[in-house]
Amino acid sequence: MPPRLPRLAALALIPALLLAPAAALAAPSHDVADLGGGTYVVDKQHTFLTTKVLHLGVSFYTARFNTIEGTFTYDPARPEAARVQASVDATSMDVGADYSAKFAEEFLAADKFPKITFTSTSIQKGPGNTGTMTGNLTLRGVTRPVTFNVTFNGAGRSPLPPFRSIAGFTATTSIKRSDFGSDFLNNGIVADDVAITLEAEFDRK
C-alpha cells in the first residue's frame, strides 16, 4: 500500500530543512514567560507516558502507554489559572512483550475501565521553570487527588507545516496502585509504589 499523502509531503520537506541555514530555524525559548496564551493540544507522536515499579526488590519494571490525549489552556497574565485535561488508553499499556494486554487487564482492569483520566484543579508556580500541578486522577474507576512536579522545557514554533506554536513539559509523580484497587502481585513481587513520568509536547490551536 502506498504511503499516505501527508507523510509524502512531510518527507518532501526534509531536504529543504537539511539545506536551510541554521538561523532560519528559530531557536526555542526556555523562559516560561515566553509561553504564549491559548489552547494547546497534545502532539501524540511526541508525547510519552511511562511508569516504573520495583520488581522483586531489585529492578524497575517499565511500562509505556502508547495512546494519550490532552489539552491545556493558558493565559500568561494568569498562569496559575491554567487548566489541564488528559486521558490515557489503559489498553495501550506496552511492556515490550506479547503479554502487554494481559498485564493491562490484570493491573489496570483495562477491559472494564479503558480510560485513565486526569483533570487539574490547581497549578502553583515554583522557582524558575518549575511548578506543581494538582488534580483528580481516575484509574480503575477510582478518583484520587495527585500532585505532579512539572518542568517547562521550552516553547517555539514547528519548522514543518502548519508551523504551529509548540511547547514541551516534563511531569512526574508517584502513586500507590493499591489506592486505586490494583493489588495484583502486590505481595513483594511487584511493589505498590508506581513512579510516573510524562514527557509531553503540545501544539497550540
pLDDT tens digit sequence for 115-125? 999 999 999 99
- How many C-beta atoms lie closer than 10 Å to residue 40's C-beta? 27
pLDDT of residue 185: 87
14 within some domain = no
Number of domains the chain is built from: 1
User: What DSSP state is assigned to residue 160?
Assistant: S
176 within some domain = yes
Range of the domain at 54: 28-204
Q: Read off the pTM.
A: 0.85
User: How does pLDDT run across 2-20, given as a tens digit for each residue?
Assistant: 445 555 555 555 555 454 4
198 within some domain = yes
Task: Of 88, 64, 74, give the one whose Cα is nearest residue 167.
Answer: 74
In this structure, of 6-20, 55-69, 136-150, 181-195, the range with the lowest mean pLDDT score is 6-20
In angstroms, the CA 154 to CA 165 distance is 11
Say whether pLDDT at 91 is over 60: yes
The CATH code of the domain that includes 177 is: 2.40.128.110
In angstroms, the CA 117 to CA 90 distance is 10
105 within some domain = yes
